[in-house]
Chain A
Amino acid sequence: MNQVYDVIIIGAGVVGSAVAREFARYRLKVGVLEKELDVCCETSGRNSGVLHGGFTYKTGSLKAKCSVEGNAEFDQVAAELDVPFKRTGKVVVGFTEDDMQSLLRFKAVGDANGVPGLEIIDKGRLAELDSSAGGEFAMYSPSSGILNPFIYTVALAENAKQNGVDFYFGNEVLSVQRKNEIYEIATGESFYKARWVVNCAGLNSAKISSMLGIDGYTIGGFKGEYFVLDKKVGKYLNMPVYPAPGSNGGFATHATPTVDGNVLIGPDSTLVADFEDYGVTPAALKGLIVDGAKMFNHVKREHFIRNFSGIRPKLIDKETKQVLDFVVESRSEAPNVINLVGIESPGITSALPLARRTVALFKDQERLIPNEKFNPRRQGILCFAKQSDAIKKELIEQDPNYGEIICRCETVTKAEILQAIHNCLGVTTVTGIKNRTRAMMGRCQGGYCETRIVQLLQQELHKQETDIVYSRSGSEMFTGKVRI
Chain B
Amino acid sequence: MTIMNKEVVIIGGGPAGLAAAVELRKKGIQEIVILEREKQLGGILRQCIHDGFGLTRFKQTLSGPEYSQRFIDLVKKLHIEYVTDATVIEITSMKKVIAASKDGLLEYRAKAVVLAMGCRERTRGAISIPGTRPAGIYNAGVAQSYINLHNTMVGKDVVILGSGDIGMIMARRMTLEGAKVKAVFEVQPYPSGLPRNIEQCLNDYGIPLYLSHTITKIKGNARLEGITVSQVDENMNPIIGTEKDYDCDTLILSVGLIPENELSLACGVKLDSRTKGAIVDENYQTSVAGVFAAGNVLQVHDLLDFVSLEAEGLADSVAEYIQQGELTDCPIDIVTDNAISHTIPQKISGKKDFTLSLRVRKPFKNCHIDVMQSDTVIRTVLLKKAIPAQMIQVKLKETDIKTLDNIKVVVR
Chain A positions near chain B (C-beta within 8 angstroms): 227-228, 232, 276, 278-282, 285, 301, 304-308, 389, 392-393, 396-397, 400-405, 408-409, 411, 413, 443-448, 450-451, 454-455, 465, 469-483
Contact = CB atoms under 8 A, between A and B. Distances in A.
Contact of B152 (A280, A465, A473): A465
6 contacts: A278-B221, A304-B126, A307-B125, A393-B1, A476-B223, A478-B152
Interface string B118-157: 0011011110101111111001011001110111111110
Interface stretch (B102-110, B292-300, B374-382): B102-110
Interface in B137-182: 139, 141-142, 145-147, 149-156, 177
* 9 nearest CB pairs, A to B: A474-B222, A470-B135, A306-B125, A405-B87, A475-B135, A400-B102, A475-B222, A403-B102, A445-B123
Contacts of A465: 152-153
B123 A447 contact: yes
A477 B128 contact: no
Contacts of A411: 89
Interface residues of B, number: 51
Contacts of B126: 304-305, 443
A482 B153 contact: yes
A79 B238 CA distance: 50
B223 to A, nearest CB: 6
B37 interface: yes
Contacts of B128: 227, 280, 282, 285, 301, 304, 307
Chain A interface secondary structure, helix, strand, loop or mixed? mixed
Contacts of A279: 130-132, 217-219
B142 A403 contact: no
Interface of B: 1, 37, 85, 87, 89, 98, 100-105, 120-121, 123-126, 128, 130-136, 139, 141-142, 145-147, 149-156, 177, 216-219, 221-223, 238, 262, 265
A446 B153 contact: no
B130 A285 contact: yes
A138 B98 CA distance: 44
B152 A482 contact: yes
A448 B141 CA distance: 9
B104 A396 contact: yes
A405 B154 CA distance: 25
Given A279-B217, A282-B216, A393-B105, A483 B151 contact: yes
A309 B104 CA distance: 41
Nearest to B106: A403
A480 B121 CA distance: 25
Contact of B104 (A228, A301, A307, A393): A393
Given A389-B98, A478-B152, A481-B152, A282 B124 contact: no
Contacts of A455: 150
A143 B209 CA distance: 55
B134 A475 contact: yes
B143 to A, nearest CB: 10
A482 B177 contact: yes
A459 to B, nearest CB: 12
Nearest to A446: B142
Given A282-B238, A393-B104, A445-B124, A480 B130 contact: no
B222 A444 contact: no
Contacts of A454: 146, 150, 152
B134 A448 contact: no
A475 B223 contact: yes
A211 B320 CA distance: 79
A280 B150 contact: no
Contacts of A447: 120-121, 123, 139, 141-142
A280 B87 contact: no
Given A389-B98, A480-B153, A483-B151, A472 B222 contact: yes
Given A445-B123, A475-B223, A482-B152, 13 more contacts: A400-B102, A402-B100, A404-B87, A405-B89, A445-B124, A465-B152, A476-B135, A478-B153, A478-B154, A479-B155, A479-B156, A481-B152, A481-B153
A482 B153 CA distance: 5
Contacts of B125: 228, 304-307, 445
B217 A451 contact: no
Contact of A392 (B105, B139, B218): B105
Contacts of B150: 451, 454-455
Contacts of A478: 146, 152-155
B142 A396 contact: no
Nearest to A276: B221
Contacts of B131: 279-280
Contacts of B238: 282
B151 A444 contact: no
A28 B394 CA distance: 78
Contacts of A404: 85, 87, 100-102
Nearest to A449: B142
Contacts of B133: 278, 308, 471
A402 to B, nearest CB: 8
A140 B201 CA distance: 59
A198 to B, nearest CB: 27
Contacts of B152: 454, 465, 478, 480-482
Nearest to A232: B265
Contacts of B134: 470, 475
A471 to B, nearest CB: 7
Nearest to A484: B151
Contacts of A408: 37, 87
A442 B223 CA distance: 23
A479 B101 contact: no
A281 B130 contact: yes
A278 B262 CA distance: 31
Given A411-B89, A482-B177, A477 B105 contact: no
A413 B177 CA distance: 33
B104 A397 contact: yes
A416 B120 CA distance: 23
A285 to B, nearest CB: 5
B130 A472 contact: no
A396 B154 CA distance: 34
A305 B129 CA distance: 11
A448 B120 contact: yes
A308 to B, nearest CB: 7
Given A408-B87, A445-B124, A482 B151 contact: yes
A437 B181 CA distance: 35
A446 to B, nearest CB: 7
A228 B125 CA distance: 8
A443 B258 CA distance: 11
A477 B136 CA distance: 6
A197 B378 CA distance: 83
B403 to A, nearest CB: 35
B37 A405 contact: yes
B37, B123, B155: residue with the most chain A Cβ atoms closer than 10 Å: B123
A319 to B, nearest CB: 33
Contacts of B139: 447
A404 B238 CA distance: 44
Contacts of A232: 265
B221 A472 contact: yes
A173 to B, nearest CB: 19
A293 B182 CA distance: 39
Contacts of B221: 276, 278, 472, 474
A408 B119 CA distance: 13
A476 B218 CA distance: 17
A469 B135 contact: yes
A402 B102 CA distance: 7
Given A279-B131, A281-B130, A477-B135, A396 B105 contact: yes
